[in-house]
Amino acid sequence: MRLQDSPLITHLYTADPSAHVFEGKVYIYPSHDRETDKPDNDLGDQYDMVDYHVFSMDEISGQVTDHGVALAIADVPWASKQLWAPDAASKDGCYYLYFPARDRAGVFRIGVAVSDRPFGPFKAEPEPIKESYSIDPCSFVDTDGRAYLCFGGLWGGQLQNWRGPAFDAAGREPAGDEPALSPRIAELAPDMKSFAGPVREIQIIDEEGHPIRADDHDRRFFEAAWMHKRDGIYYFSYSTGNTHFIVYATSDNPFGPFTYAGRLLEPVIGWTTHHSIVEFKGRWYLFHHDSSLSGGCNHLRCMKLKEITYDQDGRMQVVMPTPAACAT
């Protein structure tokens, strides 16, 4: 199969697609970009999203169904603004939508909403997950049934404000040969709505076993955590942010450490890059976004799809799609 490089949908601006297979279909949980007059800055004020739509596909390259608004910020009691990149999980017939938003004090927390259907609507819990912070939640359910939540994002995502046990408004990203900031992970409790253990750091190391340095912007974690598992190997992929790559690291344990393994996706049109990886009917796919639909506007993005292959050593490679004119 050779996919075309065209947006999956064109009637809405969408970004940060998290894809999962539920009930025999691919369900996609993206953020929903909208026109705004907010300033374009490194804190991400221009990404002023207020709701989530859920999409599904019966077949790859088939029709994409928009199931409508699954959750709106008006229905999240603790949130003030900015419903950024979400993710979803399933357990015992229930579906859980994990999402970041700013609380009433302007601090990003991670909330959870529940539905009995993969497309919602979802009902938000009255409070964010205790001890959660920053952005870009990624839910990962292991083959043994244990579930985890990875999260974190620099700059506007505020991870640099959590270098200690509490939020520090003066917190800064490390520099030079200091170790880069690490993404976070916590095991989810059986109720899927709270943490079963402490929030831990996911250490990302180089081939010699040293932590990735803060000044190694081609490899250091910035945002967009994603975890998947294949043939006993845990893959942790993420965006490098200001250098605009999707890269990945591997481990034999979901808590890490993860050894840097390579670059997966080159820079796309627009500033941000955010992805997910899913297996469907024996093949692997990369969902991501760019800004081609809006002609390069950074905060008006569109979802795209590419296939992934693995070599005999488990290294990933993106199958380059067939060029296609961008839909309007």
Spell out the residues 6+ positions from residue 168 whose beta carbon is closer than 8 angstroms to its own.
161, 162
Give residue 171's region: left, alpha or beta (phi > 0; psi -120 to 50): beta
Of residues 33, 87, 136, 223, which has the active-site annotation? Answer: 223
Q: Shortest CA distance to 303 belongs to which of 271, 275, 261, 264? A: 275
Starting at the edge strand found earlier in the chain, the sheet holding 51-57 runs 13-22, 25-33, 51-57, 64-72
Q: Can you tell me the distance from the alpha carbon of 218 to that of 206, in angstroms, rounded to the nearest whole number? A: 12
CB-CB contact of 291 with 301 (8 Å) = yes
Q: Shortest CA distance to 158 belongs to which of 187, 126, 127, 136? A: 136
Residues paired with 309 in a beta bridge: 317
The reply to whether omega before 183 is within 30° of 0 (cis) is: no
223 is catalytic: yes
The encoded tokens of residue 269 equal 């049109």
Residues paired with 28 in a beta bridge: 19, 55
Phi, psi dihedrals of residue 148, rounded to the nearest 5°? -135, 160
Phi, psi dihedrals of residue 160, rounded to the nearest 5°? -65, -15
Going by the DSSP 8-state scheme, the letter that residue 12 receives in this structure is S
Of residues 16, 33, 87, 136, which has the active-site annotation? Answer: 16
Q: How far is CA 67 from the centre of its chain?
A: 20
For β-strands 258-265 and 204-205, DSSP reports them as parallel
The encoded tokens of residue 67 equal 């199931």
Indicate which residues carry an active-site annotation.
Answer: 16, 223
